[in-house]
């Protein structure tokens, strides 16, 4: 696969601690109304990767306009908690996950940032070392995406409804250099601080697709790696809410600023005038390509 692909257990914790040396690492957890799960996410990482070994230097939860007890639950589990809207208030505040992640740059200090969702149900702390492996081992890598099996879903490597119905088709049509990314929307990913600080960050759910597209554009697809993290389950949004997520992802992927910078995107879309190559994934991960016919007939009026 052109996107460099690893497994979380390609590195031992000891390997990573040696490779880390003095490099600093921040775990960033954006959270909106996650009182039920955020304490467990923070607490488990703190016990195993801060208190027992020092792989992570700080755990920072960005409370994204929660109206439940997310702030208190995260703080009592040992995180440094900041309200997104209160970080650099002179910059204004927007709702959304991307906003919380962008604001995290102002309240964290790690040279490497690891992002994890706060709503994880089936997961383990090996996600964090797994995501750090490529950044600590391969200097050319700027951004590392996680992928995982999703128990009980349609297929083990199905990436979710928005992934399969919006992100993968968009990638096939416009950003084929990313088609080997198994789960482009995964919320578990890691990035070098300097690189994340160089990116334009959509305030909502398009933060992941934008980071992938802009990283490939700025540094080439070689700057992206992905890691098999095993199994992961999360809570699901309603189809109507996913419609809003899909709209944000389409808006970012089709933003004139992104497409304009790359005139070849238009050619790529044009190349799909008759058929598109949709890359999906089977366990392995094994790429399964599907040719999707996209032919259009001309207006019939000239032929009548």
Ligand X SMILES: O=C(O)[C@H](O)COP(=O)(O)O
Is residue 217 classed as helix, strand or coil in its secondary structure?
Answer: helix
> Whose Cβ is closer to ligand UPG: residue 96's or residue 230's?
96
**Near ligand UPG in 116-175, by CB under 6 A:** 117-119
Residue 92 backbone zone (phi > 0: left; psi -120 to 50: alpha; other: beta): left
Say which entry of ligand X, ligand UPG, none residue 196 contacts (CB below 5 to 8 A, set by partner kind): none
Cβ atoms 45, 128 nearer than 8 A: yes
Given ligand X, ligand UPG, none, residue 96, with its beta carbon under 5 to 8 Å by kind, binds: ligand UPG
Quickly count: other Cβ atoms within 10 Å of residue 191's Cβ: 25
Stretch that binds ligand X, among 34-42, 50-58, 236-244, 289-297 (CB under 6 A): 236-244
The DSSP annotation for 75-126 comes to: HHTT-EEEEGGGSSGGG----SHHHHHHHHTTT---SEEEE--S-EEE--TT
**Does residue 159 touch ligand X according to CB under 6 A?**
yes
Which one of the spans 8-16, 28-36, 140-148, 275-283 is the region binding ligand UPG (CB under 6 A)?
Answer: 28-36
- Closest to ligand X by CB, 55 vs 206, is 206
Stretch that binds ligand X, among 130-138, 157-165, 191-199, 282-290 (CB under 6 A): 157-165
User: From CA 44, how far away is CA 47, in angstroms rounded?
Assistant: 5
Per CB under 6 A, 93 contacts ligand UPG: no
Residues 202-221 that bind ligand UPG (CB under 6 A): 205, 208
Cα gap 64→96, rounded to integer Å: 7
Q: Which of 43, 69, 78, 95 binds ligand UPG (CB under 6 A)?
A: 95
Neighbours of 151 (CB within 10 A): 11
Choose, by CB under 6 A, the member of 37, 66, 84, 163 that binds ligand X: 163
Q: How far apart are CA 35 and CA 119, in angstroms?
A: 9
Residues that bind ligand X (CB under 6 A): 159-163, 185, 236-237, 242
């Amino acid at each position: 696969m052109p996107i460099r692909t690893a497994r979380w257990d390609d590195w031992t914790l000891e390997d990573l601690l040696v490779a880390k040396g003095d490099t600093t690492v921040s775990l960033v957890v954006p959270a909106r109304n996650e009182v039920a799960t955020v304490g467990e996410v923070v607490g488990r990482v703190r016990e195993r990767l801060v208190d027992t070994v020092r792989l992570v230097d700080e755990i920072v939860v960005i409370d994204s306009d929660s109206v439940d007890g997310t702030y208190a639950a995260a703080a009592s589990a040992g995180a440094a908690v900041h309200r997104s809207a209160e970080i650099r208030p002179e910059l204004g505040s927007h709702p959304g996950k991307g906003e919380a992640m962008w604001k995290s740059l102002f309240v964290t200090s790690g040279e490497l940032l690891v992002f994890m969702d706060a709503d994880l149900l089936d997961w383990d702390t090996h996600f964090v070392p797994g995501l750090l492996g490529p950044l600590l081992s391969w200097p050319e890598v700027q951004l590392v995406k996680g992928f995982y099996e999703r128990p009980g879903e349609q297929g083990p490597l199905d990436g979710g409804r928005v992934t399969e119905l919006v992100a993968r088709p968009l990638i096939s049509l416009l950003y084929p250099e990313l088609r080997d990314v198994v789960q482009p929307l995964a919320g578990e990913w890691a990035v070098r601080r300097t690189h994340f600080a160089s990116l334009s960050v959509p305030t909502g759910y398009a933060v992941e697709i934008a980071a992938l597209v802009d990283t490939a554009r700025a540094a080439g697809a070689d700057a992206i790696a992905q890691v098999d993290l095993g199994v992961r389950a999360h809570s699901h949004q309603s189809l109507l809410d996913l419609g809003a997520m899909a709209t944000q992802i389409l808006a970012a992927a089709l933003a004139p600023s992104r497409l304009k910078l790359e005139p070849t995107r238009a050619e790529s879309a044009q190349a799909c005038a008759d058929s598109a190559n949709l890359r999906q994934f089977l366990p392995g991960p094994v790429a399964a390509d599907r040719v999707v016919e996209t032919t259009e007939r001309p207006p019939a009026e000239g032929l009548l």
